[in-house]
Amino acid sequence: MQAVTPNPPLPAQLVTRFAPSPTGYLHLGHAFAAWRAWRRARADGGRFLLRIENIDATRARPEYEAAILEDMRWLGLDWDGPVRRQQAHLADYALVLEDLRARELLYPCFCTRADIAREVAASGQAPHGPDGPVYPGTCATLSPRIAAARIEAGQAHCWRLRTARAAALVGPLDYEEEGQGRVTCDPGAHGDVVLARKDCPGSYHLCVCHDDALQGVTLVMRGEELRPATDIHRLIQSLMGWPQPVYAHHRLLTDERGQKLSKRDGALSLKTLREAGITPAEAFRRAGVDLAQL
């Protein structure tokens, strides 16, 4: 009798996404990220998702979100399935927090920015992480009784990850950077990062990992500035037993003075470009990007 050879498993379908925060008008750097991810998904017969990361209720605005959808149309980028808006899923993020809290991996932090700055200044040589000074751990040692009383009294607080404890639990971590191989993670360098903001049961780190897992994202394509965050994302994925995507961090576009484009510094927005009647190809060309060569 002839042995039956099972079919080799089909390669998983590529799923990638563009996940802007509607906290300002997008600039050409965002268009670059969106365009790369879209083109990759289309070239590979994969899926391209659009996710609006609007958990920051103080900065997210409907007009910015509307502009993102307009920008996508201007760029000629279509996406698969409905747009996911993070504000509509806060209860899901709260469940993840609950799980981590039950495992004693989170603690409430009552510090204001000023408290942290003062503490860091007083300590003389506070360690610096990828995002500036590492949280000095002021609230990490509060007794659970005192912390509970402060919460009960309505004191504003965020929730921080006990990063060292979490990292010890999961052991060494790395990730696949497309075209570069495995990259070793150092989550400890970030200190106790915020997993739930004061105003929301989630933070960028928590929600992005949750949604990438839920939406089956296999390839995270995003700008180089978010590369350090991947250390924390791998830690969260590992703690939660979520799959690990491959990463492809890309270079950042700069303006004519060589400065990184940034929403905050008022880089020329896509809205301004499209309202001026400039085509995406022309806008990219002016920034030294040839779409055909990407």
Of the candidates 37, 13, 78, the residue with the CA atom closest to the CA atom of residue 218: 13
- Residues that bind ligand GLU (rule: CB under 6 A) add up to a total of 7
Interface mask (CB under 6 A) for ligand GLU, residues 20-59, using x and -? xx-------------------------------x------
By beta-carbon proximity to ligand GLU, the closer residue of 189 and 226 is 226
Q: Is 271 an annotated catalytic residue?
A: no
By beta-carbon proximity to ligand GLU, the closer residue of 63 and 290 is 63
149 dihedral zone (left: phi>0; alpha: psi -120 to 50; beta)? alpha
Residue-wise over 128-142: b if at least 16 C-beta within 10 A, else e? ebeeebbbbbbbbeb
Span 191-210, contacts to ligand GLU by CB under 6 A: 208
Residue 17 CB, shortest distance to ligand GLU, in Å, is 7
Span 208-237, contacts to ligand GLU by CB under 6 A: 208, 222, 226
| By CB under 6 A, residue 263 contacts ligand GLU | no
What string of H, E and C letters represents the secondary structure of the chain?
Answer: CCCCCCCCCCCCCCEEEECCCCCCCCEHHHHHHHHHHHHHHHHCCCEEEEEECCCCCCCCCHHHHHHHHHHHHHHCCCCCCCCEEHHHHHHHHHHHHHHHHHCCCEEEECCCHHHHHHHHHHCCCCCEECCEECCCCHHHHCCHHHHHHHHHCCCCCEEEECHHHHHHHHCCCEEEECCCEEEECCHHHHCCCEEECCCCCCCHHHHHHHHHHHCCCCEEEEEHHHCCHHHHHHHHHHHHCCCCCEEEEECCCECCCCCECCCCCCCCEHHHHHHCCCCHHHHHHHCCCCHHHC
By beta-carbon proximity to ligand GLU, the closer residue of 19 and 206 is 19
Give the separation between CA 206 and CA 208, rounded to whole angstroms.
Answer: 6
Interface mask (CB under 6 A) for ligand GLU, residues 103-142, using x and -? ----------------------------------------
The window from 16-24, 113-121, 130-138, 139-147 that contacts ligand GLU (CB under 6 A) reads 16-24
Residue 196 CB, shortest distance to ligand GLU, in Å, is 17
Span 155-174, contacts to ligand GLU by CB under 6 A: none
By beta-carbon proximity to ligand GLU, the closer residue of 58 and 155 is 58
The window from 14-22, 124-132, 152-160, 193-201 that contacts ligand GLU (CB under 6 A) reads 14-22
The window from 13-21, 34-42, 94-102, 165-173 that contacts ligand GLU (CB under 6 A) reads 13-21
By beta-carbon proximity to ligand GLU, the closer residue of 224 and 275 is 224
Residue 279 CB, shortest distance to ligand GLU, in Å, is 24
By beta-carbon proximity to ligand GLU, the closer residue of 20 and 202 is 20
Catalytic residue positions, numbered = 263
Where does this chain bind ligand GLU (CB under 6 A)?
A: 19-21, 53, 208, 222, 226
